[in-house]
Amino acid sequence: MGIPHVLAIPYPAQGHVIPMMELLQRFAKQGFKVTCVNTEFIHKRVMQALHEKDGDLVDMIHMTSIPDGLGPSDDRNDFVKALKAIFEVMPRKLEELIEMINETDDNKITCLLADENIGWAFKVAEKFGIKKVAFWPASTALLATSFSVPKLIEDKIINSNDGTIRKHQTISLSENMPAINTENLVWTCFPDLETQKTVFDVIVKTNAFVKLADFIICNSAYELEPAAFTLFPNLLSIGPLIATNQLGNQVGHFWPEDSTCLKWLDQQPVSSVIYVAFGSFTVFDPVQFQELALGLEQTNMSFLWVVRPDMTDEMNEAYPKGFIDRVGSRGRMVGWAPQEKVLRHPSVACFLSHCGWNSTIEGVSNGVPFLCWPYFADQFLNESYICDVWKVGVGFDKDESGLIRQSEIKNKVEHLLGDEQFKARVLDLKDKVVNSVKGQGCSNKNLRRIIDWMK
């Protein structure tokens, strides 16, 4: 008999691949053989962005790929096309991969670990009679929302055929969870009805597929979202999976990290820098981009700003005239930062964030207060946790034209940093979550339980 062999399949998006890779490093260190299967498109990007320092990782985790059914130049943000192709092509390709590994490897696949969004993979795993674990990388409250679709239909909040909203309102899944605006449900966020319906259908199908999994593990801590874990007690918290908690390196990036900004941070005084980052998807309207730049300039503080090469349509013209010269060395712009290390750096005073779940738990785990700038789906729910439940950040108000103005940015930075309670509360929350992934902490005990069962 060989050693237990985990085959892991992340959902093909940045915020899904990074935490899955983090989890896989933990499994590899526990003596599992680990194979990670990305789509060919993502595999290429991850391998290209790997740094020399990540050599150990490639030894620890076997990285492989299967096609996603799309051509090289197809738009992978076209959800209708991408999801259709995935469902048509990937299940068969995954099955062939497992057959090939089982024929050629002394260590046959014993467990399939799939992103919850790839629930169809559990159907494939059933054929092979192997263990099945679903991994949920976002907030547990968000998964609770997907699992509540039947109740939303029963309560006549949404239509059963396509998920469209019957009446705009805010809904609460439980008394102790923040209210969600029906316009910010994952599927209702998309502007066109066809995409809304496609995403809704996938959620409904996935809710059924995931019932096949033996366990559903979540990249969250009970201490962060007790009400969501109470609502669905079958969900196990195992997070936050943060590389710095393990003194390791975060891997799985789609862009190469610009580590020179760490040296720049070394030169800044303690708690003096605003870190600004909007994750892997956000695209800015050019006017809003300029307001943000001018707002940062107005704060008179130093700032480290992640400006991805694809962040606005007109990158060359993006900055306001004279901005780069005026801010000089107090403003540092990079294409992609080693975010976890940045957030751990003592020079960082606050995190201006789009509130993606990974960014949220990374900020909390490093005790950094937030300025919240959500723009899509669950980011609004995460903002509610940050501002209203944990009270470790503030949001921005838009003006009548829907823009966040430079003066608003300056005022909120001053408000956040002028009130020491934000920092005190985030440090307190940091202690709670860091303890959860250690020793007798809840997340650590759950992860140990899963590891023992998988062995």
Site membership for ligand UDP, residue 336 (CB under 6 A):
yes
Distances (CA, A) of 318 to 149, 282, 309, 347: 41, 15, 11, 27
Residue 103 per-residue DSSP state? H
Kindly calculate the radius of gyration of the chain based on its CA atoms and give it in whole angstroms.
22
Exactly one of 299, 339, 406, 443 binds ligand UDP (CB under 6 A); that residue is: 339
Contact letters for ligand UDP, residues 297-316 (x by CB under 6 A): ---------x----------
Q: Which amino acid is at 346?
A: P
Exactly one of 119, 331, 356, 395 binds ligand UDP (CB under 6 A); that residue is: 356
Q: Is the peptide bond before 240 cis (omega within 30 degrees of 0)?
A: yes
**Residue 10's closest CA among 121, 89, 101?**
121
Exactly one of 109, 143, 149, 277 binds ligand UDP (CB under 6 A); that residue is: 277
| End-to-end Cα distance, the chain | 12
If the CB atoms of residues 280 and 443 are measured against ligand UDP, the closer one turns out to be 280
Q: Site for ligand UDP (CB under 6 A): how many residues? A: 18
- Measured CA to CA, the distance from residue 413 to residue 177 in angstroms comes to 27
Judge whether 253 and 49 are in contact, CB under 8 Å.
yes
Residue 218 per-residue DSSP state? E
If the CB atoms of residues 223 and 340 are measured against ligand UDP, the closer one turns out to be 340
Of the listed pieces 194-202, 213-221, 335-343, 394-402, which binds ligand UDP according to CB under 6 A? 335-343
Site membership for ligand UDP, residue 15 (CB under 6 A):
yes
User: C-alpha angle 143/228/80, rounded to 5°?
Assistant: 15
Site membership for ligand UDP, residue 12 (CB under 6 A):
no
Q: How far is the CB of 258 from ligand UDP (least distance, A)?
A: 8
Q: How far is the CB of 440 from ligand UDP (least distance, A)?
A: 27
Site membership for ligand UDP, residue 54 (CB under 6 A):
no
If the CB atoms of residues 122 and 275 are measured against ligand UDP, the closer one turns out to be 275
Site membership for ligand UDP, residue 135 (CB under 6 A):
no
Exactly one of 6, 7, 9, 18 binds ligand UDP (CB under 6 A); that residue is: 18
Of the listed pieces 183-191, 353-361, 400-408, 439-447, which binds ligand UDP according to CB under 6 A? 353-361
Sequence-ordered list of residues with C-beta below 8 angstroms from that of 92, at least 6 positions apart, any chain: none
> Among all chains, which residue has been given the structure tokens 């609004």?
380
Site membership for ligand UDP, residue 337 (CB under 6 A):
yes
Residue 388 per-residue DSSP state? I
Distances (CA, A) of 223 to 140, 237, 241: 12, 9, 14
List beta partners, residue 180: 171
Residues lying near ligand UDP in the complex (CB under 6 A) are found at 14-15, 18, 253, 277, 279-281, 306, 336-337, 339-340, 356-359, 362
